Chain A
Amino acid sequence: RKEVEQDPGPFNVPEGATVAFNCTYSNSASQSFFWYRQDCRKEPKLLMSVYSSGNEDGRFTAQLNRASQYISLLIRDSKLSDSATYLCVVNLRSGAGSYQLTFGKGTKLSVIP
């Protein structure tokens, strides 16, 4: 089983649609959770951290279920500029002061006019 698994995608949605990304992780000792977005041939950029109680940032809502080892990201009212690959990321403590990020393969989103 892969450490972080995401929907394989790609997702093609019209502008204004709501889209949901799902992710599961295998290591129950994982300590923190993130969604990154990555534009084509660019570096990953932190979209949002995922808190245990869930959190919202504008059109973006992230949820975490530690019992099920499941993370989700919801994007409402999709914009053309949301087109990117969305990476589910898990942070695991691997030494003194050391945190190792484990990434899913990513799900590509294309928002269509």
Chain B
Amino acid sequence: ETGVTQSPTHLIKTRGQQVTLRCSSQSGHNTVSWYQQALGQGPQFIFQYYREEENGRGNFPPRFSGLQFPNYSSELNVNALELDDSALYLCAGQRGTYNEQFFGPGTRLTVL
């Protein structure tokens, strides 16, 4: 059990719409990261939040944004959806000696 949950599990949107994905992390995961995994690829780092502030960002445009709340929950917002945004979105909490990251079950987003 990773202690990381995500909602919703599946989502279908149309091009141009906006979407909010949610992640809840148990106490102790004060760092949360978001990843995008396209079919047949490894997960790609979107950004990370530490103590409610963005603390690292991958190669994603500004229409990908996020928030982290005092209760360690987090949101990923994507504006102006494009077809290529269709992917599995993963949230991960960080802990451990080697800063291991533990993933939630993901949200599968389909953009039509």
Chain B residues with CB under 8 A of A100: 33, 45, 48, 56, 58
Interface positions, chain A 56-91, Cβ under 8 Å from B, are: 87, 91
A106-B42 contact in complex given A98-B50, A101-B33, C-beta closer than 8 Å: yes
* CB of B77 closer than 8 Å to a CB of A: no
Q: Give the size category of A's interface with B.
A: 20 to 34
Q: Mark A19-51, 1 if CB is under 8 A from B, else 0.
A: 000000000000010100000011111100100
Q: Is the CB of A101 within 8 A of B98?
A: no
Is the pair A44, B103 in contact by a Cβ cutoff of 8 Å?
A: yes
Q: Shortest beta-carbon distance, A85 to chain B, in Å?
A: 9
| A94-B56, A101-B33, A105-B41 known; A49+B104 contact, CB < 8 A | no
- Are B100 and A102 neighbours in the complex by a CB distance under 8 Å? no
Instruction: Answer whether residue B55 sits at the interface, using C-beta atoms and an 8 A cutoff.
Output: yes
Q: B55: which of A4, A42, A95, A106 is its contact (CB, 8 Å)? A: A95
Given A43-B105, A46-B100, A99–B94 Cβ distance below 8 Å?
A: yes
Q: Binary interface profile of B, 50-82, with partner A (CB < 8 Å = 1, else 0)?
A: 100001101000000000000000000000000
**Which residues does chain A contribute within 8 Å of B58, judged by CB atoms?**
100
| Chain A residues packing against B (C-beta within 8 Å) | 4, 32, 34, 41-46, 49, 87, 91, 94-106
* 4 extra interface residue pairs, beta carbon distance < 8 Å, beyond A44-B103, A101-B92: A46-B101, A97-B55, A103-B42, A105-B41
